[in-house]
A and B are shown apart, each in its own frame.
Chain A
């Protein structure tokens, strides 16, 4: 079993801030060779407190036999709609313990979105298209983002102590979280190196 090592380097450079009341985190996720890790979910869990579940709605579209996006991060309690933009039917399912469900073969948008009440990773599949795969990462925080070309930015993070977690699709073992203490107006830039 491979051991993943997460290194968090705190740069000494000043960080740019966009809001006076909230901090902003700029995170680079790199692998051991320094390559950008895309579609990695970066999220900051508050230490010593909890956020109430969200009641928002997100969308996991299916277009050209592909789930879009491939990685969808949501806060616990968010309902996700699974519109089918293809002409053909799909049967979306999850056997993941965070949320087990299935949407029998359908076209268009099902009437009811699926609510994810439990944090965790849901691995999505389509029963008639084995190749279709997507992840819904349910986190107990509204502070999350998905990297694009290895970088993402989490804005409007309230001051306080956080544990910064990273998840990405090929991850075997979760790297240890990075502890952060944020001031109100901090803009922190950090790089997370993961061992793939």
Chain B
């Protein structure tokens, strides 16, 4: 297991401001409160938001500025690994927990009329 992690491509986390469509959800579960789901376009290809404790925290884009596929995505592609699982596993190597690539809206009501573009400061996963 440890050996598998050691083969993973090295990465770093950098701050990235992104304007994203934000949809507030009112949670009906015991924790209550408001949660924010962010949406990428349906046609997003090689791009993910990763949630920690159901809040948007990380961002990954498989493509570099010059349009080439980065080393992290190339590694997953080469090893035929599921990219979403791989990204979660990569972050776990830095001891981040409660991660998911989807917002969990169970027992929550979306307030779509109140959706808006909002700026989020996320941590982008990039090659190091």
Q: Do A and B bind each other?
A: no
> Which residues from chain B sit less than 8 Å from chain A, CB to CB?
none
Tell me the A residues contacting B by CB distance below 8 Å.
none
